[in-house]
Structure formats: C-alpha cells, structure tokens
C-alpha cells in the first residue's frame, strides 16, 4: 500500500528499498507513468491533460505536450512540434510545474537535443 493514496497500488517487492538515481526524460503523453491522469495527480501532484482534441484557445500546455520526468518527480511539460521542412524541433513553451534548477534546465535541453536527433531533425529552436 502507498500511504496517503486511495485504491490499491502495486510495486515489484524487489524494487523496494533499492537506491534510485533516476534521470531526466521527456515522456509520451501515453507513457504508463502519466496515462492514468488521476493516479499521476494523486501520487505525483501532477496535473496533466492531453489537449490535442481541445480548441487551440482552450489549451493550457499545448497540442501534444510532453511530460518532463526529473529523477523521481514529474516537474513540467514541453510544448514542441517537429518542423520537418526546416529540420527543426520548435519548442513553443516549457511549462515548469516546479522552478527548474540549472541542472534540470541543462538536462531538459539535452533531452530536447536527443529527441530532435532521434526523429531526424538537425536543431532545436526555443521560443
């Protein structure tokens, strides 16, 4: 049982008591960590909604915002689109749920560079 939560949550008992270093990662909106929006809110105090079906004027975080995981916390969302003609990952907004430290900022930018490279783009352009 996870203290302070409702419902039953399961964890691999072998993982309990182990050290966890974590890393920074940009997650898909469909990642199992955030897919259950109620669980993400309850366990991580992370408010998130996939807004691709909302009118643009009603979006808070962007069309397909990517949740940002830093170590063991969900810390923000990235609104970015791939401009394949220009070969650029355009970052429209970085929504910080917690104030980003220099370390978080550096690691998020490294993840953006990795994402751009992985999808075959040459550069990242921050708004």
Query: In angstroms, rounded to a whole number, what is the distance separating the alpha carbons of residues 100 and 106?
Result: 9
Q: What is residue 31's DSSP assignment?
A: -
β-bridge partners, 79: 93
pLDDT value at position 2? 67
Q: Name residue, tokens 């072998």.
A: 14
Per-residue pLDDT at 43:
85
d(CA 118, CA 106): 18
pLDDT tops 70 at residue 32 = yes
Is the predicted pLDDT of residue 52 greater than 90, yes or no? yes
Higher pLDDT, 122 or 1: 122
Tens digits of residue pLDDT in 2-11: 677 777 777 7
- Rounded CA separation 89/80 (Å): 7
Looking at residues 9-18, what average pLDDT do you find?
77
* Cβ atoms of 69 and 91 closer than 8 Å: no
- Residues near 27 by Cβ (< 8 Å), separated by ≥ 6? 33, 34, 66, 67, 68, 69
Beta bridge partners of residue 95, listed in sequence order: 77
In the prediction, which pLDDT does 110 show? Answer: 98
Considering all CA atoms of the chain, what is the largest pairwise distance in Å, rounded to the nearest integer? 50
From CA 34, how far away is CA 83, in angstroms rounded?
A: 26
Taking only the tens place, the pLDDT of each residue in 70-109 is 998 999 999 999 999 999 999 999 999 999 999 999 999 9
Average pLDDT estimate for 50-68: 95
On the question of pLDDT at 48 being above 80, the answer is yes
Four-residue CA torsion sign, 23, 26, 32, 38: positive
- Type and span of the H or E element at 106: helix 102-118
Share of the chain above pLDDT 70, in %: 98
């Amino acid at each position: 049982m996870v203290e302070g939560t409702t419902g039953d949550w399961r964890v691999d008992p072998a993982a309990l008591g182990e050290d966890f270093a974590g890393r920074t990662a940009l997650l898909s909106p469909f990642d199992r960590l955030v897919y259950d929006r109620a669980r993400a809110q309850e366990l991580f105090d992370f408010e998130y909604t996939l807004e691709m079906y909302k009118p643009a004027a009603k979006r808070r975080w962007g069309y397909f915002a990517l949740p940002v995981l830093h170590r063991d916390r969900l810390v923000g969302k990235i609104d970015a689109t791939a401009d394949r003609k220009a070969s650029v990952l355009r970052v429209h907004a970085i929504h910080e749920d917690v104030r980003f430290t220099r370390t978080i900022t550096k690691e998020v930018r490294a993840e953006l560079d990795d994402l751009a490279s992985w999808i075959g783009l040459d550069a990242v352009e921050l708004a």
